[in-house]
């Protein structure tokens, strides 16, 4: 099992979160995770090359928006909703409220 780095809750920065959300593709990933809970990379069924998806997941993970873990050949992703709510109250909810499906 590969270990992935995630920032601690305290280290999540507002600018990194806003930047990560400023891409329609990443916003769609966040929207689906908010709706459906933990999803595998393939379960997200997004029409993009694996390397493109990996890049987006990395940006989201390093910004502190998602928690990723790998198990065998599959990766699992979930939204760090509670950490984000504690760090930036109301922010993710407001973004998701305005986000339209891709």
Query: Nearest approach, Cβ of 24 to a second copy (angstroms)?
Result: 5
What tokens appear for 54 in the block?
A: 């990996």
Nearer to a second copy, 37 or 89 (CB): 89
| Bridge partners, 51 (sequence order) | none
CA distance linking residue 53 with residue 47, whole number of Å = 9
Binding residues (CB under 8 A) for a second copy: these are 14-16, 18-19, 21-24, 27, 87-91, 93-95, 97-100
CB of residue 49 vs a second copy: minimum separation in angstroms?
21
Question: For residues 26 and 75, which CB has a smaller minimum distance to a second copy in the complex?
Answer: 26
Q: Which is nearer to a second copy, 21 or 75 (CB)?
A: 21
- Kindly state the smallest distance separating residue 92's Cβ from a second copy, in Å: 8
The string over 25-34, giving b where at least 16 C-beta atoms fall within 10 Å of a residue's C-beta and e elsewhere, is bbbbbbbbbb
* Residue of 16, 55, 56 lying closest to 32 (CA atoms): 56
Q: Shortest Cβ distance from residue 19 to a second copy (Å)?
A: 4
Closest CA to 41 of 54, 28, 55, 25: 54
Q: Which is nearer to a second copy, 82 or 98 (CB)?
A: 98
């Amino acid at each position: 099992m590969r270990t992935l780095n995630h920032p601690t809750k305290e280290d999540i920065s507002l600018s990194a979160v806003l930047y990560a959300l400023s891409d329609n593709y990443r916003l769609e990933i966040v929207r689906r995770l908010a709706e459906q809970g933990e999803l595998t990379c393939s379960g997200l069924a997004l029409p993009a090359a694996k390397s493109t998806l990996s890049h987006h997941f990395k940006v989201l993970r390093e910004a502190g928006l998602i928690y990723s873990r790998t198990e065998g050949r599959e990766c699992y992703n979930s939204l760090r909703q509670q950490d984000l709510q504690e760090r930036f109250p109301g922010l993710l909810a407001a973004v998701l409220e305005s986000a339209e499906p891709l």
